Structure 1
Amino acid sequence: MRRSVLFRRVGGDGLGGMSSLDAVRDERTPLPGWVAVGVLTLSTFLVVTSEMLPVGVLTPMADGLGVSSGAMGTSLTITGLVSALTAPLVPRLLGNLDRRVVLAVAMVVLAAGNGLTAIAGGFGMLVVSRIVLGIGMGTVWGMAAAVATRLVAPRDIALAVSFAVSGVASASVLGVPLGTFVGNAFGWRTAFGALAALSLLLVPALALTLPRLRRPAATGDEAGAGRRRSLARPAVVSGLVVVVLLVTAHFAAYTYVRPALEELPRMSANAIALSLLLYGVFGLIGNFAAGAAAGRRPRQTVLLLAAGITAALMILALFGTTALVAGLAIALWGAAYGGVSVGGQLWMSAAAPDRVEHVTGLYVGVFTASIALGAFAGGLIVEGAGIVPLLWSTAALALASLVVGPIGRVPSRPQPSKPPTSPDLAHAHHAE
């Protein structure tokens, strides 16, 4: 029988067979590690598709439940706010629970949320279903990136995080359109039922591909002092403020990108669909390009992305009446924003390498809360002032992130947490 080694055993501490594990910098990640990362990616893909699908089937859902489109739109806000509360809270409650089991249970919760949505007979049941879904979403998304760093060799951490987070971007590019197609062809309830079934399929996949993962061990000064350092560090705080500014700016503007393209360059519906597809493709490219760059220089990468978002919004505001220029601005916007999630995650990991789970949960909570804030603020500005003032306002928010970002020292290369002194991480549990 042979096991695939993820981390090399380099010595024992003599405590009941427990061993000290140290990752070798140039070690290659074996195939089972990448398979596990792939399952995590599918998990983030499903949770974000589940959150965003009401956008694609908003009208038939509203008609089926007998509510207005505006009331139906609040279902996204409910999910986002519950997820924002769940993501930072879960790591504090887990203790030494096996993260593999936690993720599997969270997918069951996600399946329950989608199932309840599929059978909802009124708005009250829909609200309950979206609360349940938000709990599952916050847990999975909040833990995925932190778990991914523990499945691969240190040199592959940035790529693993890029893959795990790419599920978020690909949900917008592929998940929501596919779910909308199913909803249009077979009904919106079938679309949510399919998501519930797919969520359940990932439960055994997570259990079989992930190794046992307990609480990450204390490292460095934290271990010596016997206590954890606070996350209220300048680099963490400045990074989170940058995330609030960028994500709020993005969602305030992007929520109304269709009206903007209809009003400024007067694009047709097909041209707008093509522009949004272009945005999604460049978003995926930006995700992996930013992951590679942020693996070495996380803060500089995120600030470069912020400059790109600022430029895209300003170009759209100034020259967006020309269809070609508007299309180029949308492509730049997609490439820049597509890298924000992975770049911000690697910034947080570099700023707090001793508390990756906690800082990741906090990061996802702030991120999802900013989504809700952006959509709400964008609506107020559009209703009160119009599309062009919205673009200038969001460009100003993105520009402000360039002022806040340099505060606090961030290591030039994220340092992974030392694996816990437990045989659980010495091997993936795949036997031949």
Structure 2
Amino acid sequence: MTTTVSHPAPVKTARPLAVAAVAAGTFTIVTSEMLPVGLLTPIGADLGVSDGTAGLMMTAPGLVAAVAAPLITLAARRLDRRLVLCGLMALLAAANLLAALAPVYPIMLAARVLTGVSIGGFWAFAVGLAVRLVPEPLVGRAAATIASGIAVASVLGVPAGTLVSSVAGWRAAFAAVALLAVLLCVALARLLPALPAERAARVSDLWRVWRTGPLRVVLVVTALVVTGHFAAYTYVRPFLEQAAGAGATAVSAVLLGYGVAGVAGNFAAGARAARRPRGVLVTLALLIGVATAVLAAAPGSIGTATALLVLWGVAYGGVSVTLQMWIVRAGGGEAGMAMLTAVFNAAISLGAFAGGRVVDGASAPAVMWLGAGLSLAAAAVAGIAGRRTTNGS
């Protein structure tokens, strides 16, 4: 499946600071990707575009990252991974700085395209670094730490960015992430050891994933649940403003509650997903579907919306780690993880785009029905098609 390029000696000494730096990198990468979710209204107003058009800030990086993940993996096959990660983090800093300074919306979209390149490349390499930074008995813990950067960013990055925006404006939120990326570029250069390429992935390895039944089920479920989530969640700010009458301060508080719930959901699901990822994913998708459907049917007061968003946060917080565990249980290996990254980011892009069309064509509350339908479809596919396989029960 792979071609050996080099054989580094087994790791004898753990590098916890290097692991922490990579985890901080994944946090920064995903925070950059999700940042517009809490800033759509002010960015759209400032740059003169609708909420649906502003949602293209999520569509662009997700689509680019989906293509970049496998392409950069193939293109950088012989480069030192430390240099690759530092370069991608530097690109992320430049992209966020450009977004902070963007005078018009097309410049903002160009910045988001650059963000997508960095996201796809960093995800493709970061996941497999644990085995090269700690001795074998500690690999599981190190991998969980690196992955936690993704989970925590997905559920805390948006409220943090919204809070900065409410105090100093949306441009300050992008500038803050740009500064964080610069600091992490320095940290990665100093803390990571030399990481020469071990293997060179081939195009045939990526196509094998699609031809394997159990792995194909995981990718289809990923596409459904992630598309459904981001179709609704990308527009949660205008939904809260229109349906629940929330102001900027209330939106920040609600998203913070969502974030805290999501962190709890990540660790709660992770412990169970190692044993039964398919069953856990069914439960999570059902909870997302129920929460978004009730929001659509009876948004009610800000208190009701907050309670439902907390439930939503708990559920979605566990999705990423559960899908990763399912890919592992289904025998996906490195190629499976690369394709999961591609499908995940493509689904983010598709969800944001589809939700934007619903928001502009109907209303913000209507987009919750789209999220509910896709999430319930994911639960059905995982429960029915997933059960026919022998992996990831």
TM-score, shorter chain, exceeding 0.5? yes
TM normalised by structure 1 equals 0.74
Partner of 2:280 in structure 1? 301
Is residue 68 of structure 1 aligned with residue 49 of structure 2?
yes
Contact (CA 8 Å) 2:40, 2:237: kept in 1 or not?
A: no
Matched residues in 2 for 1:55 and 1:90: separation? 26
Partner SS for 2:326:
helix
Matched residues in 2 for 1:243 and 1:228: separation? 16
Partner of 1:422 in structure 2? none
Matched residues in 1 for 2:207 and 2:364: separation? 44
Matched residues in 2 for 1:377 and 1:400: separation? 16
CA distance 1:227–1:42, change in 2 (3 Å): closer
- The match for 2:339 among 342, 353, 362 is 362
Which deviates further from its counterpart, 397-406 or 38-47?
A: 397-406
Partner letter of residue 225 of structure 2?
L
Is residue 106 of structure 1 aligned with residue 88 of structure 2?
yes
- Counterparts of 1:170-181 in structure 2, within 5 Å, are 170-171=152-153, 173-181=155-163
Matched residues in 2 for 1:39 and 1:398: separation? 33
Partner of 1:380 in structure 2? 357
CA distance 1:307–1:61, change in 2 (3 Å): closer
Partner of 2:262 in structure 1? 283
| Cα deviation, residue 247, structure 1 | 0.8
1:309-328 deviation line (CA, Å, top 9, x unaligned):
22323443455436655433
Is residue 403 of structure 1 aligned with residue 385 of structure 2?
no
| Cα deviation, residue 298, structure 1 | 2.5
- Counterparts of 1:180-329 in structure 2, within 5 Å, are 180-183=162-165, 188-216=170-198, 230-232=208-210, 233-261=212-240, 270-317=249-296, 320-321=299-300, 325-329=304-308
Partner of 1:77 in structure 2? 59
Matched residues in 2 for 1:180 and 1:267: separation? 14
Contact (CA 8 Å) 1:161, 1:342: kept in 2 or not?
A: no
Matched residues in 2 for 1:300 and 1:145: separation? 24
Moved over 6 A (4+): 17-20, 226-229
Contact (CA 8 Å) 2:231, 2:370: kept in 1 or not?
A: no
The Cα RMSD (Å) is: 3.6
Partner of 2:368 in structure 1? 391
Matched residues in 1 for 2:8 and 2:40: separation? 54
Contact (CA 8 Å) 1:90, 1:361: kept in 2 or not?
A: no
State, as a whole percentage, how many aligned pairs show the same letter: 42
Contact (CA 8 Å) 1:158, 1:346: kept in 2 or not?
A: no
Structure 2 unpaired stretches of 5+: 1-5
Is residue 334 of structure 1 aligned with residue 313 of structure 2?
yes
Partner letter of residue 64 of structure 2?
V
1:4-45 deviation line (CA, Å, top 9, x unaligned):
xxxxxxxxxxxxx96885x9xxxxx9652x322211121122
| Cα deviation, residue 80, structure 1 | 1.9
| Cα deviation, residue 175, structure 1 | 3.6
Matched residues in 2 for 1:295 and 1:313: separation? 27
Structure richer in helix, relative to its length: 2
Partner letter of residue 408 of structure 1?
T
How many residue pairs were aligned?
A: 380
CA distance 1:352–1:306, change in 2 (3 Å): same
Partner of 1:7 in structure 2? none
Partner letter of residue 86 of structure 1?
A
Contact (CA 8 Å) 2:166, 2:249: kept in 1 or not?
A: no
CA distance 1:302–1:30, change in 2 (3 Å): farther
Partner letter of residue 143 of structure 1?
F
Which deviates further from its counterpart, 361-370 or 114-123?
A: 114-123
Matched residues in 2 for 1:264 and 1:126: separation? 28
Matched residues in 1 for 2:238 and 2:44: separation? 21
TM normalised by structure 2 equals 0.81
CA distance 1:163–1:386, change in 2 (3 Å): same
Partner SS for 1:41:
helix
Matched residues in 2 for 1:260 and 1:295: separation? 35
Contact (CA 8 Å) 2:254, 2:306: kept in 1 or not?
A: yes
Partner letter of residue 360 of structure 1?
M
Partner letter of residue 81 of structure 1?
L
Partner of 1:95 in structure 2? 77
| Cα deviation, residue 302, structure 1 | 2.0
Structure (1 or 2) with the larger CA radius of gyration: 1
Matched residues in 1 for 2:302 and 2:228: separation? 23
1:86-119 deviation line (CA, Å, top 9, x unaligned):
1122222232332222111111211222233344
CA distance 1:334–1:178, change in 2 (3 Å): closer
Partner of 2:110 in structure 1? 128
Matched residues in 2 for 1:60 and 1:328: separation? 25
